[in-house]
């Protein structure tokens, strides 16, 4: 990945600002008032900043948007970027303002004049998130963004406020890196190794191999990966930051490192994007990394089922019947509806072993959710109104789109099988709902549960406010906020 080399908070220094190379970004409110350092900058530019701020062009900028004054006379900088941002603004707009700076960041770096703006830490987070780029496999010259200095009135206080946001950014980057990686690099073995490396952060990591999964009865999960040379695994990541013995929150992720559809093979067009079918596992991994880095005061366990869905002589077939860890049998109608077979076993294992206070599963599960919600919102399903409302509030607070979808016994009729306890698909109508209804059969009555279908938001087709085209990292911020709200009272 490519991210800013460093972001530092420094005291406001007008003289240093005039000598700064790279880019200079100045935060200006809608009233157009310039603080003393900005006025000195403006004088050096012979009034160019004031003229722009007084123009119709500035008036047309929405809060969080920016415009460039290129090659300013009287300065060493290559451009002065005027960013419109009110002092009284929300977190999301402040991050968008930072993203406007991060989008234009080059190898020469930038100096941001934030002064006494109370949202400078959020500006820094937005800048870092948008400056990310996945460059691991480019052999040509890489443009590594240079360092960023943010000049503020109280640098030590702002640096302290930004510290947990730095942990959050690293979690998002980790998720994006995992989802962006091609499947010949991010095999199940490589994925598990990257998670095992997080032991150095204080996470307890356990890798369950195929023999143990067979003993546990995870035959639905194993059936998905039986056609691949890559071994199926379950990785357990445990963060013990709360009271000893207190039930953890469980996060469960679908980790299909590549999905051909199996024997029910997908069309060739667009199949290359199925490297992102481990997106749910990627989000869980990123959240666990964030929690460890910021030393969260909560017990959280993350579990991911890592498999590859390939067609071969040993692959499962349409018409096969598999037995889940719970003991229920499933008639496999379509081998491309494999994610729910992975999740059902890992979800049951999470409840049997950890007896969690609540459970959230995430998966790039259905194309149907994209038809329903597009790329703006993830689909959210739940058996507990209070738990679901807490997550939706967390997602809103972090600016990550999420929309609640229904569950209901009426949808169960679509899952009836002639020869087994259920089918793994319910047909085209309400496809995202019947997938969630399938998973609901593997949730114990006492377990508050949320299922999040992230198929539309994990890798949207265009850049977003805080991410370039590619993996968005959606969900890391919302789930970190949920942990703060439920466990830490923040």
The Cα–Cα gap between 447 and 358 comes to 6
Cα 321 → chain centroid: 34
Tell which phi-psi region holds residue 204, choosing left (phi > 0), alpha (psi between -120 and 50) or beta: beta
- Tell me if 40 sits within 8 A of 18, measured CB to CB: yes
**What token pair was written down for 190?**
């490589």
Reading across the β-sheet that carries 422-423, which strands appear in turn?
Answer: 321-323, 329-331, 422-423
Phi, psi angles (nearest 5°) of residue 249: -85, 135
Q: ∠ CA 475-476-477 to the nearest 5 degrees? A: 95
Two structure tokens written together for 374: 């597009």
Using alpha carbons only, what angle is made at residue 90 by residues 89 and 94, rounded to the nearest 5 degrees? 80
Q: Which of 130, 294, 340, 484 is catalytic?
A: 340
CA distance 311 to 265: 8
Question: Of these residues, 87, 194, 266, 441, which one is catalytic?
Answer: 266
Q: Where are the alpha helices (DSSP H) in 237-375?
A: 279-293, 339-354, 368-373
Secondary structure, 3-state, 155-214: HHHHHHHHHHHHHHHHHHHHHHHHHHCCCCCCCHHHHHHHHHHHHHHCCEEEEECHHHHH
Q: With beta carbons less than 8 A apart as the criterion, state whether 490 and 482 touch.
A: no
Please indicate whether residue 340 is annotated as part of the active site: yes
Q: Is 108 left (phi over 0), alpha (psi -120 to 50) or beta?
A: alpha
Write out the two tokens for 327: 């003991």
DSSP label at residue 269 = T
The encoded tokens of residue 481 equal 């906020």
User: Nearest to residue 272, comparing CAs of 135, 22, 470?
Assistant: 470
Which two three-digit tokens encode residue 284?
């869980």
Length of the chain: 490
Q: CA 191 to CA 143: how far, in whole Å?
A: 27
Angle between helices 385-398 and 91-103 (to 10 degrees): 40
Active site residue 266: yes
In three-state secondary structure terms, 358 is strand
Show which residues are catalytic. Answer: 266, 340
């Amino acid at each position: 990945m490519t991210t800013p080399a460093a972001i530092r908070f420094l005291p406001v220094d007008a003289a240093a600002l005039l000598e700064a190379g790279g880019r200079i970004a100045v935060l200006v409110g809608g009233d157009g008032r310039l603080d003393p350092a900005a006025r000195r900058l403006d004088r050096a530019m012979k009034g160019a900043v004031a003229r722009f701020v007084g123009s119709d062009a500035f008036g047309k900028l929405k809060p969080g948007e920016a415009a460039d004054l290129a090659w300013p006379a009287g300065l060493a900088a290559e451009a002065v970027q005027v960013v419109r941002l009110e002092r009284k603004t929300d977190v999301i707009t402040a991050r968008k303002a930072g993203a406007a700076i991060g989008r234009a960041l080059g190898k020469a770096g930038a100096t941001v004049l934030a002064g006494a703006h109370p949202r400078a830490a959020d500006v820094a987070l937005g800048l870092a998130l948008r400056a990310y780029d996945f460059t691991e496999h480019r052999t040509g010259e890489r443009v590594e963004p240079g360092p960023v200095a943010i000049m503020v009135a109280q640098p030590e206080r702002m640096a302290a406020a930004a510290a947990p946001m730095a942990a959050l950014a690293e979690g998002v980057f980790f998720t994006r890196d995992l989802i962006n990686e091609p499947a010949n690099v991010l095999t199940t073995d490589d994925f598990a190794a990257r998670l095992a490396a997080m032991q150095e952060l204080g996470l307890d990591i356990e890798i369950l191999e195929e023999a143990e999964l067979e003993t546990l009865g995870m035959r639905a999960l194993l059936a998905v990966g039986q056609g691949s040379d890559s071994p199926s695994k379950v990785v357990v990541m445990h963060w013990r930051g709360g009271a000893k013995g207190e039930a953890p929150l469980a996060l469960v992720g679908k980790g299909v490192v590549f999905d051909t559809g199996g024997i029910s093979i997908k069309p060739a067009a667009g199949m290359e994007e199925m490297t992102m079918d481990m997106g749910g596992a990627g989000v869980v991994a990123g959240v666990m990394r964030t929690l460890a880095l910021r030393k969260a005061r909560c017990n959280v366990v993350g579990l991911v089922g890592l498999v590859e869905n390939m067609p071969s002589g040993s692959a499962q077939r349409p018409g096969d019947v598999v037995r889940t860890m719970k003991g229920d049998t499933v008639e496999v109608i379509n081998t491309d509806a494999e994610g729910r077979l992975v999740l059902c076993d890992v979800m049951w294992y999470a409840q049997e072993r950890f007896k969690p206070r609540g459970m959230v599963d995430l998966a790039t599960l259905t194309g149907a959710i994209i038809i329903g919600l597009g790329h703006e919102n993830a689909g959210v399903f739940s058996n507990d109104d209070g738990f679901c409302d807490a997550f939706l509030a967390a997602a809103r607070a972090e600016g990550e789109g999420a929309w609640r979808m229904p569950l209901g016994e009426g949808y169960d009729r679509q899952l009836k099988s002639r020869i087994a306890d259920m089918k793994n698909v319910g047909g085209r109508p309400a496809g995202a709902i019947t997938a969630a209804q399938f998973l609901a059969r593997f949730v114990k009555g006492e377990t508050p549960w949320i299922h999040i279908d992230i198929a539309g938001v994990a890798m949207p087709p265009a850049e977003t406010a805080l991410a370039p085209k590619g993996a968005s990292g959606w969900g890391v911020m919302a789930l970190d906020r949920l942990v703060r709200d439920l466990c830490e009272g923040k």
